[in-house]
């Protein structure tokens, strides 16, 4: 068994052996470095990525460069939006940026249609991906619509910690402000209040969650 097949099987244990063999034989394996932007708004998507290692951030960009975080992608996941855009031959409405060095499988559009028809485990994976991402986006919308900024910040920090599987978040106050579409001063003030309440410990470009 090749190293690539083993890697896919580890990241996607629910894939059938036949599906894994077909992906390995007809797809390409790529690596990306932290900071790389691998998908941009307006770009035609001809393939989708299966994440084997690392982490991607999926977000929308505003006209003034502000960011709206949608979700993170981790090993064993794929971008639902890229799946939809690829099958419909549409342009991307999101940007994908590497947070932690990524290893991924690039599945071409021509193969995805075949996988949907011939492999039940791929069909189930796509449906599960659509449902999971839709629920995540709904949670983000609810957070924006019905919560004050201090609650949004707490939600954001917990979400980021869950995505990275850590309690120490390496982000500047300016980066958080950009993603929450507010000012650095507001984020700094709210983080200071959280520190006073014993919810976080603040260091330079580093936030340790205690909650």
| CATH class given for the domain over 3-144 | mainly beta
Q: What is the 3-state secondary structure (H, E, C) of 199-211?
A: CEEEECCEEEECC
Domains of the chain, residue spans = 3-144, 149-209
Give the pLDDT confidence score for residue 89 in this predicted structure: 67
8 A C-beta contact, residue 156 and residue 180: yes
pLDDT tens per residue, range 149-158:
999 999 889 9
User: Within 27-167, where are the H helices?
Assistant: 80-88, 109-118, 120-146, 149-164
**CATH classification code of 149-209:** 1.10.10.10
pLDDT band at 54 (very low <50, low <70, confident <90, very high): very high
pLDDT at residue 47 is higher than 70: yes
Residues 6+ apart with CB under 8 A from 114: 22
Closest C-alpha to 93, from 37, 42, 135:
42
Same fold: 3-144 with 149-209 = no
pTM of the model: 0.75
pLDDT at residue 81 is higher than 80: no
As a whole number, mean pLDDT of residues 67-74 equals 84
């Amino acid at each position: 068994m090749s190293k690539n097949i083993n890697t896919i099987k580890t990241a996607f244990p629910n894939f059938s052996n036949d599906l894994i063999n077909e992906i390995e034989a007809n797809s390409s394996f790529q690596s990306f470095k932290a900071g790389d932007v691998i998908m941009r708004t307006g770009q035609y998507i001809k393939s989708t990525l299966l994440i084997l290692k690392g982490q991607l951030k999926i977000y929308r960009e505003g006209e003034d460069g502000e960011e709206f975080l949608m979700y993170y992608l981790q090993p064993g996941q794929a971008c639902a939006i890229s799946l939809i855009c690829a099958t419909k031959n549409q342009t991307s409405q999101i940007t994908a940026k590497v947070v932690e060095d990524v290893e991924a499988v690039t599945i071409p559009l021509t193969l995805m249609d075949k996988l949907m028809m011939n492999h039940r485990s791929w069909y189930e994976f796509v449906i599960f991906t659509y449902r999971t991402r839709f629920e995540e986006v709904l949670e983000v919308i609810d957070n924006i619509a019905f919560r004050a900024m201090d609650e949004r910040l707490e939600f954001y920090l917990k979400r980021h910690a869950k995505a990275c599987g850590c309690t120490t978040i390496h982000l500047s106050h300016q980066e958080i402000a950009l993603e929450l579409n507010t000012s650095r001063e507001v984020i700094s003030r709210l983080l200071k209040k959280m520190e006073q309440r014993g919810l976080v410990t603040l260091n330079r470009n580093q936030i340790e969650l205690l909650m």
